[in-house]
A and B are shown apart, each in its own frame.
Chain A
């Protein structure tokens, strides 16, 4: 197999990827208006820059330049890692794209390098946006030299390359060692695992190592990549602490080594995995295990008595189970949200167990939007033209069926686990969770509040899932935390039962009104 890198092909591919990423892939969306070409990218950059500003302002309180750099590199590593984990499936294993390119004379190495560079371009955009304010805020830290913006820029670029290489390397390994029949689900779980690993890095180590007093001369610095890149920062922009030089060298060597391994050594495995994914004839439906794939009966049957809702429910259940792309998009997002409460367990605070349980309730509020937004997207979006062909007046039954599948398969089990967790740690606090749980039905209606919701009808666009996760996370955290605080305050004041009763009535009315609004809106195709 020819392994040489063809620079002309690489340039042509990069040019095409760049154009496509600027234009977005949503131009053929059937049920939505054409998006502005750069609107999404600008919103994403602004979001990351504002998060960077907040983080940078917070970190200026650090007692030395290294601590500041470490905080910023840790945040960058985690944010980029999770964003790339959520997006990389679409970029690296895009089947429609495989149909276009598989018969072209492209060496696997050229193909993988083009994809990795495209992925890195996306990560660079996020990484630079996130670090732009801290580059200048860092100058306020005592002992930081004027060279910091420049040095930090270089270190961030290297960190972006390292993070991208980690993702590509992981997929290369999966492609090389996993057979095709299991590749889809293994890739999805690997992505979720990567997401978990990046989150674990931030949460676990932040607690265990007490980040502000992190020391480079300890062994743990060797296994914490952000420390290597922070060492680079202080080497060029402050008085370097001991071992900054070897750790900086480790940053450079690890990036080059991992990048080389990913692109040069694992490229044939990647090409093989892509070819395997294209082998559609073997993709057999597994025997129906989910009750939704069979005719639902009992209480679920009554809940899904509308045939259209039932059809949408089944479609969603099948995609959740069988579609590699849906799984690779959804699992990392779920991993991100589900691991946050678990991370609380590693806190040294005595209230950590109860706090973890309540964070899980808070997270439950985010899940409906995260899941439903992920289920809006699919590369099979053209197939949803069938909903325009059938006599369907409104998208409401499609939305309700999808929503009910999300509730049945993810949110309901999550709520049960959260309640059991609270009951096991502090049973007396169980009623405090009720107001947050009461809000779930209303929160799950929100994705269809402003526009039609047709499952799988929108094509994937790079950056969309990770941005959606962040925005949803920020909004629901604010609302949910307020609600939890109100519950806590009401409990202390002895008015919790009043609050629950009031909220139950309010939520019931809000659900009825929003449900009616969604039901009455006629299904609109793209203009």
Chain B
């Protein structure tokens, strides 16, 4: 169970997250949506113990993220939007480092790395020999996802996980996360790819300007807004007015 009570984050004068109340039961796959700068990544960073909240509380499986961030981090996995890795390590060395930091024994870590490598079609020779700096964006993203799942976390936070993945890898990944949710993992999935969220997430939370503005299943949101697709729902709740007309007008100006 992940529980947020009046969770807020202020950066100087900017209130990035405003009094967020939310409960995510164990085993639920939640899509966390919002326009750019809505506060999604900030929320996730607070839930993973990376950022201290300015006010309110957040608990992950009963642990307070402020009082015990290290214990929280042991229970969660996180795929950051940046996809940052130590580029001068090989993929294998990097994953071994991550496994050690999560306390996995070397033998067990190696076996898990190989299983993930097989699933993500990463050649063992490439993992062992080539520095991450030489990997393509998609290969690097596979390593980052592996690093987040290696220690078998109870909750996983994905921030734009499909960045750089090709269509086959993305399909495999989507199947993987629905399977993980079925096995009882709590998953928070932040993305701008609404069709993916529409297909895989059983619950959708939309935040805008730091506030929670919608929470429910796709069917519930469609019913509340009277829109046919998640894209339309999202647009209705968060976009500036006349977006489509403005885009057409802008294109005409550009073409002149």
Report A's interface with B, CB cutoff 8 A.
Answer: 1-2, 6, 8-9, 11-13, 15-16, 19-20, 23-25, 27-28, 96-97, 99-107, 181, 275, 278-279, 281-282, 284
Contact = CB atoms under 8 A, between A and B. Distances in A.
B191 interface: no
A282 B82 contact: no
A237 B78 CA distance: 56
Nearest to B49: A103
Contacts of B4: none
Contacts of B116: none
A1 B131 contact: no
A181 B10 CA distance: 13
A282 B12 contact: yes
A526 to B, nearest CB: 11
A25 B88 CA distance: 6
A243 to B, nearest CB: 46
Interface of B: 11-12, 14, 16, 37, 42, 45, 48-52, 67-71, 73-74, 76, 78, 80, 82, 84-89, 93-94, 96-98, 100-103, 131, 133-134
Contact of B88 (A6, A27, A99, A279): A27
Nearest to B148: A103
B89 A19 contact: yes
Contact of A27 (B12, B52, B87): B87
B122 to A, nearest CB: 19
Contact of A105 (B11, B73, B86, B133): B73
Contact of A16 (B48, B68, B93): B93
B12 A104 contact: no
Contacts of B42: 281
A350 B89 CA distance: 57
A23 B131 contact: yes
A12 B97 contact: yes
A104 B133 contact: no
A23 B69 contact: no
A24 B93 CA distance: 15
B101 A105 contact: yes
Contacts of A100: 84-86
A20 B11 contact: no
B52 A19 contact: no
B85 to A, nearest CB: 6
For B73, B80, B88, B94, the residue with the greatest tally of chain A CB atoms inside 10 Å of its CB is B88
A19 B50 CA distance: 26
B50 A20 contact: no
Contacts of B69: 1
A281 B52 CA distance: 14
A102 B70 CA distance: 10
Given A99-B82, A284-B12, A275 B100 contact: no
Contacts of B14: 281-282
B189 to A, nearest CB: 16
Given A1-B67, A282-B14, A99 B74 contact: no
B102 A8 contact: no
Main SS at interface, chain A? helix
A97 B68 CA distance: 22
Contact of A9 (B12, B67, B80, B101): B101
Contact of A278 (B51, B71, B73): B51
A103 B50 contact: yes
A8 B103 contact: yes
A166 B45 CA distance: 32
B100 A8 contact: yes
Contact of B101 (A19, A99, A106, A275): A106
Nearest to B97: A16
B16 A281 contact: yes
A27 B101 contact: no
A23 B14 CA distance: 41
Given A103-B80, A275-B51, A97 B86 contact: yes
A28 to B, nearest CB: 5
Given A11-B100, A99-B82, A282-B14, A28 B73 contact: no
A1 B66 CA distance: 8
A27 B49 CA distance: 31
B70 A2 contact: yes
A2 B67 CA distance: 9
A100 B83 CA distance: 8
B8 to A, nearest CB: 13
A24 to B, nearest CB: 7
Contacts of A2: 68, 70-71
B102 A28 contact: no
A28 B133 contact: yes
B153 to A, nearest CB: 10
For A13, A15, A102, the residue with the greatest tally of chain B CB atoms inside 10 Å of its CB is A102
A16 B95 CA distance: 11
B89 A106 contact: no
B102 A105 contact: yes
A119 to B, nearest CB: 17
Contacts of B97: 12-13, 15-16
A25 B50 CA distance: 25
Contacts of B67: 1
Nearest to B79: A103
Contacts of B68: 1-2
Nearest to B66: A1
B88 A102 contact: no
A104 B93 CA distance: 16
A27 B103 CA distance: 29
Contacts of B87: 25, 27-28
A105 B73 CA distance: 5
B154 to A, nearest CB: 13
B80 A16 contact: no
Nearest to B75: A105
Contacts of B96: 12
Contacts of B16: 281
A279 B52 CA distance: 10
A99 B84 contact: yes
A267 to B, nearest CB: 12
Nearest to B74: A105
Contact of A96 (B37, B74, B78, B84): B84
A102 B52 CA distance: 12
Contacts of B71: 2, 105
For A11, A105, A281, the residue with the greatest tally of chain B CB atoms inside 10 Å of its CB is A105
